[in-house]
Amino acid sequence: MKASINIILFVSTILLNSCKQESFIQELFITPDAGFEINKTVYDVHESVYFVNTGKGQHFVVYPGDSLHVFNQPFNQGYATASDGTFSYAYNEPGEYTAVWIASSINNRNEIIESIDSMKISVVAKDGGLDRFTVFNIYKMPEYPGSVFFSSVGEFIAPDTLMCPVFFDSWRPSLTVNSFKAPQLINFSLSSSLSKFYWVDGGVEKEIRSGLSSSRIVKFLSGGKMSIQKFIVKTASGFTSEYYVAPVIIPKMTKYTVNGKNGVITRDIAYYNKFIIDLTLPAGTDLTSLKPDFEIMNNDPDLIDGTNITISLNEESQTSGVSIVDATSKKLQYKLIATMPGYTNPKLIRETIVDVVINLQ
């Protein structure tokens, strides 16, 4: 009889505890009401989107709506928020996304009750998706020991236009590597690893991959002259951006002669656009009225059209074999300015400084 009483008491205790637990769960239960806010609806790629909870519930999950995070799609997952419902996220691709916010609670019957809210979020690529563009190892620099190469790093002069400086010495007839007349190897980085990069060759889009020898196909020539090339970035979400890359020659004075004496031209190894010309003249030469003969880039007609090169000395325009200079200081400094022949964009420009040092012997 005592055992029976103990069993009855034990069962009663279990039932009492169970009732207390259900009552406790019921007291904690919050009827879910999904709601969230963001401070704007249009964001840049990689910009943080801050989600603020405005609803109620015990747990909150966000489906941002980009690849592998789309609500109600197989194998897609959402993100749990902080306990207060705060959450931040950055999209890697431009596009239109539907962010889904789920608030949930568990009732005393272990049932999950959910409430859902959603919002459209636009993500744009303000820079189009191209972060860096380099024409790799254009020219081997003989001024340095070992194997030192010049790579042309593209400079954005507009959101869709880059300028790449080019050494004149790389303008050689050879079609092999280290000549700008050859197909070039391009290194680049995109805003998203899911995007693809294309060179447009005669209207045909040809995919190139950064730094791969198999992608050494890009040519910056048209009719033997340097020409602007078109590239395209395509994102996984279908967003397309166009870019234009302009090669601009760094002008070089390739000949400097006074009274039949040729100057020795070398590059200042500390700068890619500074040169030094050592000119030795006979003792007693009248330095007050020298008339230098000079050439710029061998007067190559594919690089010079008669209007795209200016030469100045002390801000005065100079003409080979015509301009008379006073060199009594035995030092002259010329400035060469080259624009891209055939194009009117004033930002497509490169400058060179040439220091002439005169010795009397």
226-268, pLDDT tens digit by residue?
Answer: 999 999 999 877 778 899 999 999 999 999 999 999 999 999 9
Q: Do domains 31-124 and 253-360 have the same CATH topology?
A: yes
Q: Which CATH superfamily is domain 31-124 in?
A: Immunoglobulins (2.60.40.10)
Q: How many helices (H) and strands (E) does the chain have?
A: 1, 28
Vertex 137: Cα angle to 206 and 345 (nearest 5)? 65
Residue 46 — very low, low, confident or very high, per pLDDT cuts 50/70/90? confident
CB atoms within 10 A of CB 102: 21
CATH of domain 253-360: 2.60.40
Sheet containing 36-37, strands listed edge to edge, beginning at the edge strand earlier in sequence: 36-37, 48-53, 87-90
Distances (CA, A) of 35 to 50, 114, 238, 242: 14, 12, 30, 39
What is d(CA 69, CA 63) in angstroms, rounded to the nearest whole number? 5
Which tokens in the block code for residue 144? 């340095």
Sheet containing 196-201, strands listed edge to edge, beginning at the edge strand earlier in sequence: 155-158, 161-167, 240-250, 229-234, 196-201, 204-208
Residue 22 — very low, low, confident or very high, per pLDDT cuts 50/70/90? very low
Average pLDDT over residues 119-135: 86
CB neighbour class for 19 (10 Å; exposed up to 12, middle 13-18, buried from 19)? exposed
CB atoms within 10 A of CB 197: 22
184 DSSP 8-state letter: B
Would you kindly state where each structural domain of the chain is located, as residue ranges? Answer: 31-124, 130-250, 253-360
What is d(CA 104, CA 342) in angstroms, rounded to the nearest whole number? 65
Bridge partners for 149 per DSSP: 140
| pLDDT over 80 (residue 1) | no
CB atoms within 10 A of CB 48: 10
CB atoms within 10 A of CB 60: 26
| pLDDT over 80 (residue 24) | no
Using DSSP's 3-state secondary structure scheme, residue 254 falls into: strand
Residue 176 — very low, low, confident or very high, per pLDDT cuts 50/70/90? low
Nearest to 119 by CA among 11, 39, 215, 211: 39
Pairing of strands 274-281, 349-360: parallel
